[in-house]
Structure 1
Amino acid sequence: MNIELRGIAAPEGWPAPGCRCASCNRLRAAGVRYEPASVVIDGVPLEACPRTDVPGGFEVRAPHGQRALVAAGPGARPEPSAGAEYDAVLLDLAGSPEHLGHLRRTGAATSRTEVVAIHVDHRISSPAELERRMAFWNRPRHGPHRTLLLGGARSGKSAEAELRLAACPDVLYAATGPVSDDDPEWRERVAAHRLRRPAWWRTVETTDLVDVLESETGAVLVDGIGTWLTAAIDEAAAWDDPALAQPSLDDLVTAWRGTRARVVAVSDEVGLSLVPATPSGRAFRDMLGRLNQRLAAESEETALVVAGRVTELG
């Protein structure tokens, strides 16, 4: 199936007329404009192909019989026909990348399905950002592949981790934080994280990351390494003697190196903060900093997240 895109944008185009947002202003300043979505399949305009409406969009037949599922507009999530397996899906990936994960989960989109972003607009910061996201949304669901995301508190590192795996059909979310049912603020934080995640993601609350890394082969999100380290130090009673926790750190690095999973892990970047006032705080900072270095050395990708912006570290 040959898909020609003559326009990829939402109905108003990108930049949108009169819009003063940063995304639209960047394109306007560069003299760039993307026209509303216009698609030609095997030489035939999309609107001229045989069409069947489905909730959230429609499916079309290409001249040679191939099938494509198309989102009706921004925010639309087209549902596949029963038993359908599409040769291409044209989706609002700027707004709903997790819908691609849903289609892959149901078998409507497979490894052979061409994935195309349409209805693109200022919900995404730039064409380069769309290209960056498409690269990991089209990545194979299985590993081995390791990504370490570093950042400070409220930097957006967890949201970036979820975004990177949004198009996967199945994700195991390994939450290493403590269960604090008596802490309303903590419960609110946990609930906010869950609402961001697709409903079909599996969640396990565990500090046994070695078992997770050794047993899983699909997509895994670990959030996060800092809380895992706290538990490891507690378990080894190592706050006064950090060396007691070292075997656990060594085991984690070994499991990270040997995993078959496609894993994205979140960790705190401690090198830019104030020097902790207590010996135990300084010990934790030093241990996490060294652990981050070791995991980064065994990762295909490492990135720093600051104010929701991502810098790849190589």
Structure 2
Amino acid sequence: MELTLLGTGAPSGLPRPDCPCAACATARGTLARAATALLVDGVLLLDLTPGAALAAARAGHSLAGVRQVLLTHPHDGPAVELPVGLPTAGRVADGRVLTLLSGHRVRALAMDAPGTGYEVTAPGGERLLYLPPGGAPAGLPDGPGRGTTAPYDLVAADVTGRPDAVARLRASGAVGAATDIVAVHLDHDVPPGAELDRRLAAAGARAVPDGTTVSVGAYRAVPQVPRRTLVTGGARSGKSWEAERRLATFPGVVYVATGGGRDGDAEWDARVRTHRERRPATWRTVETRDLVPLLAREGAPLLIDCLSLWLTDAMDRVDAWNEEAWEAGGRGALRERVAELVAAVRATPRTVVLVTNEVGSGIVPAHVSGRLFRDELGRLNAAVAEECEHVLLVVAGQPLPLRG
């Protein structure tokens, strides 16, 4: 099956008309994107957008052979002029199957938002899933994930706007390790260019320029998702949000909160509540500082937030704040505990994202305990970073790759 992406942007395109935002200001040249439209084997057009015929010509194709035009979502604004020779655009009722003379089978899938998703099966058996902007499957497809068919060869979906849609497909088995996930309906909520590529790679997805032709079902190396990632940054830098975003397309994530509760602290409770409310409903929260057993077990991805609170507890346990106890054995006990954690990060079979606080930056704490904590956290961060394929520093909400 040959798929040509005539456009890969949001319905308003990218940049949006008259939008002054930074993302739109930089979406120029190859980073500009027309509204998403897909041409399948020259016979099926999914979504009719302005300039579709010209976009096809630029990509080296013609719409003359198109026998079916299907829409996935309500189109706002003035009606799009139908190019000469194209059949009238329409939508297939949810659950219905349409068979084209070319041998392609198209099944309409119900969405949890206005719109229709389409599963396209080519005569050769290659399978494509295309989801509308802002949409996720309302029910799982009949085959994938139920042991009767293989995962889709390619999924074109709103990865940045609805990462949970990819998570649902992964949970059902409709997205497998070899599934090519192509992000479409791209809008100005994510900066284009390298930052977009970095975020999508963390989700096992990719973006392609308008006009790209993809051979569905042909082998290609899918983006390698880093198995271990360390996210560091200062207070209120956005590091926790960045860590959560990196696992948003994966189901059943275990969020490991190392801070625990604080009786009578309303402000702390409010912080914890805010964190929980922004996480996907399918994530599970575990409050513990005993990280080594979790890292040692097979299972869903882990998000550990954060190492600085884990270190505070570890130092409390060895009475590090008592100088005599520290010198008499506390220092050695802490080193052993840190070494155990670092070894567990090295050996873990799970995908894991760890959050920590960046320390130092030239200010020397006034108290001995503050200097001690700064030194030990710096050592811990360096040791864990050494075991991670990907390390990010978040400054003012902007992630800066340090490794990977």
1:141 positional shift: 12
- Paired position in structure 2 for 1:160: 242
Question: 1:102 is matched with which residue: 153, 164, 168?
Answer: 168
- Paired position in structure 2 for 1:180: 262
Unmatched runs of 5 consecutive residues or more in structure 2: 47-67, 69-103, 145-151, 206-221
Specify the code of the residue in structure 1 equivalent to 2:37.
Answer: S
Kept in 2: contact 1:218–1:261 (CA 8 A): yes
SS in 2 for 1:5: strand
Specify the code of the residue in structure 2 equivalent to 1:62.
Answer: T
1:230 positional shift: 0.4
Deviations 1:274-306 (A, max 9, x none): 322211111000000011111111211111111
Could you tell me how far apart the structure 1 residues matched to 2:306 and 2:286 are? 13
Kept in 2: contact 1:88–1:116 (CA 8 A): yes
Specify the code of the residue in structure 2 equivalent to 1:266.
Answer: V
Could you tell me how far apart the structure 1 residues matched to 2:368 and 2:250 are? 42
SS in 2 for 1:108: coil
Kept in 2: contact 1:157–1:305 (CA 8 A): yes
- Paired position in structure 2 for 1:311: 400
Specify the code of the residue in structure 1 equivalent to 2:14.
Answer: W
CA separation of 1:213 and 1:107: change in aligned 2, threshold 3 A: same
Kept in 2: contact 1:174–1:203 (CA 8 A): yes
Specify the code of the residue in structure 2 equivalent to 1:44.
Answer: V
Structure having greater relative contact order (Cα 8 Å, sep ≥ 6): 1
1:51 positional shift: 4.5
SS in 1 for 2:33: coil
1:18 positional shift: 0.5
Kept in 2: contact 1:68–1:89 (CA 8 A): yes
1:143 positional shift: 9.2
Q: Does 1:299 align with 2:381?
A: no
Deviations 1:25-70 (A, max 9, x none): 1124x58521110112233333337342412432232332544332
Could you tell me how far apart the structure 1 residues matched to 2:401 and 2:225 are? 20
CA separation of 1:286 and 1:16: change in aligned 2, threshold 3 A: same
CA separation of 1:31 and 1:138: change in aligned 2, threshold 3 A: closer
1:78 positional shift: 3.1
**Which consecutive aligned stretches of 4+ in structure 1 deviate over 4 angstroms post-superposition?**
139-144
CA separation of 1:112 and 1:177: change in aligned 2, threshold 3 A: same
SS in 2 for 1:52: strand
Aligned Cα RMSD in Å?
2.4
- Paired position in structure 1 for 2:117: 58
Alignment of 1:10-159 (within 5 A): 10-28=10-28, 32-47=31-46, 48=68, 50-55=106-111, 56=113, 57-64=116-123, 65-73=125-133, 75-85=134-144, 86-138=152-204, 145-159=227-241
CA separation of 1:273 and 1:192: change in aligned 2, threshold 3 A: farther
1:98 positional shift: 2.4
Larger deviation, residues 275-284 vs 30-39: 30-39
Kept in 1: contact 2:227–2:352 (CA 8 A): yes
State how many pairs are aligned. 312
CA separation of 1:40 and 1:144: change in aligned 2, threshold 3 A: closer
Relative to total residues, which structure has the larger helix share, 1 or 2? Answer: 1
Deviations 1:87-137 (A, max 9, x none): 332211121212211221122322243212111010111132221122111
1:77 positional shift: 2.1
Kept in 1: contact 2:204–2:224 (CA 8 A): no
1:270 positional shift: 0.3
Could you tell me how far apart the structure 2 residues matched to 1:109 and 1:215 are? 24
Kept in 2: contact 1:151–1:305 (CA 8 A): yes
Could you tell me how far apart the structure 2 residues matched to 1:101 and 1:53 are? 17
% identity of equivalent residues = 43
SS in 2 for 1:313: strand
1:190 positional shift: 1.0
Kept in 1: contact 2:140–2:172 (CA 8 A): no
Kept in 2: contact 1:142–1:262 (CA 8 A): no
Specify the code of the residue in structure 1 equivalent to 2:33.
Answer: Y
- Paired position in structure 1 for 2:289: 207
Unmatched runs of 5 consecutive residues or more in structure 1: none
1:150 positional shift: 0.9
TM norm structure 1:
0.91
Specify the code of the residue in structure 2 equivalent to 1:126.
Answer: P
Specify the code of the residue in structure 1 equivalent to 2:35.
Answer: P
Could you tell me how far apart the structure 2 residues matched to 1:280 and 1:247 are? 20
Q: Does 1:280 align with 2:362?
A: no
Deviations 1:167-187 (A, max 9, x none): 112211111012124211111
Q: Does 1:221 align with 2:303?
A: yes
Could you tell me how far apart the structure 2 residues matched to 1:32 and 1:300 are? 28
TM norm structure 2:
0.72
Larger deviation, residues 237-246 vs 120-129: 237-246
Kept in 1: contact 2:2–2:41 (CA 8 A): yes
